[in-house]
Amino acid sequence: MIETVTDETFESRVLRAPGPVLVDFTATWCPPCRMIKPVLAELAVELAGRLEIVALDVDDSPKAAAAAGVMGMPTLSLYVDGQVVTQVVGARPKAAVRAAVEQFLPVDNSVAAAR
């Protein structure tokens, strides 16, 4: 499940998170944002334990979006140790989003052990 973060929870849930967090900067009026939601839901399941995915509505939480420099939606920003390490702007296929974030995620030990 993809949780929602707000201006009030952004620092604790994203900037001080113990692991990588992909933030979906989104808006209810944005058609590409709606298109990418199922992609992010699938990735949340596939990358569980390695990546947390959260959503932030830019209209409801403009301070966090402005501080992140978000200019268009959807913007997917991957935070590691409180810093943006990569960003994807616009709706993209699942493979493209996964490829953008995979190199920054911890190794999946279950896959490594199977080799």
Torsion angle defined by CA atoms of residues 62, 82, 25 and 45, in that order, rounded to the nearest 10 degrees: -140
43 catalytically annotated: no
71 catalytically annotated: no
Tell which residue, 52, 59, 61, has the closest CA to residue 6: 61
Catalytic residue among 5, 22, 33, 73: 33
Catalytic residue among 22, 30, 36, 65: 30
Catalytic residues: 30, 33
